[in-house]
Amino acid sequence: MNKEVIFPYYSGNIYKSNCIGFVTLEQFIHSHKNPTNKTKSIINKVNHAAGIGDKKLKFKYKKQLHTFTPSVMIDACEQRRYDNIQSFTGLMQIDLDGIPDRKTTIDLKEHIFHTHPELVACYVSPSRLGIKALMRIKAPIITGALHSLSEAIREYKALHKAVEKVFNEYGYFDIATRNAILPLFLSVDENILYRDIDECEIWEELDWTEKDYVQLNNAPAQNDFTDSESKYYYDKTVRLLESKINAISDEGHPQVRTAGLILGSRVGAGYIDYNDAISRIEYLITGNSYLKKGIKGYVKTANWAINEGIKNPKYYK
């Protein structure tokens, strides 16, 4: 196994999004094949909650697991955020979720691993009713300029869109993995399937045909800006969000809702990526001395508001 492939990992608290270190691909696979007793205990609790259909209890236990961002490199101690991406690793996270039973899960795991030679590793999810995989891809290159990071993110999504077209045939594909910084939870699978990365084929197909969101209310196409305009509007949107959240010292939910609606309207207009918006507002909520007392509730309010705001795009004059 190639030990030079490394990526960040994070603490067993989903709300603490600072990178605490790095693992090699070999260590990542070993941790799934040979889990600690603590990890096995948490996974058993996740399995029980999934078995009784208690999603809230399932997440309570699942969020205690370490997480990874296998697709991107972020510096140690930095937040898991889009603008902290230093490079792409050449790996893409794949997730098939909501599979009806464990036998189907195991059979499908075997099938997709042996059907797709680009897959480096393939294993069952913490709930045992899903499949996680890492795929070798042609890594987008970041040259250093701000707009180049934006272009690399768009290229990653175009790669993902092409992968989605193929994996949708299995019926359980989760498009959330188009987010390159989506946290991947540690799992357990003593029968994890893997191959040497140097022996994997490299996925290079791109699909640029679909925007992140369907435009509503006859809104103009998204991202139809020059590079300088794109940076200007993006920075303006970020400053607006920061001013709204940083000013909150009481009556949290109404103000978070307002900030989220405004942010969502800017997402709908194409000024900021949806996943970047989600990540930024969560980061600001955790850093606000008043809001951090109820992070989970405020994040839920923010996510709802962003999704509502997207339906009514607002444009800078």
The domain spans of the chain are 6-199, 227-309
Lowest mean pLDDT among 135-139, 153-157, 196-200, 201-205: 153-157
Whether the pLDDT of residue 290 is over 60: the answer is yes
Q: In angstroms, what is the C-alpha Rg of the chain?
A: 20
Residue 79: phi and psi, rounded to 5, are: -75, 150
Give Cα separations from 236 to 63, 125, 271, 275 (angstroms): 33, 39, 9, 17
| pLDDT attached to residue 227 | 53
Cβ neighbours of 151 (radius 10 Å): 16
Question: What is the token pair recorded at 217?
Answer: 């209310």
Give the 3-state secondary structure of residue 137: strand
Q: What crossing angle do the helices spanning 227-246 and 146-167 adopt, rounded to 10°? A: 90
Whether the pLDDT of residue 112 is over 60: the answer is yes
pTM for this predicted structure: 0.69
Would strands 91-96 and 131-136 be described as parallel, antiparallel, or unpaired? Answer: antiparallel
Whether the pLDDT of residue 14 is over 80: the answer is no
Do 73 and 8 contact (CB within 8 A), yes or no? Answer: yes
Give the 3-state secondary structure of residue 115: helix
Cβ neighbours of 299 (radius 10 Å): 19
**Secondary element (H or E) of residue 57:** helix 55-62
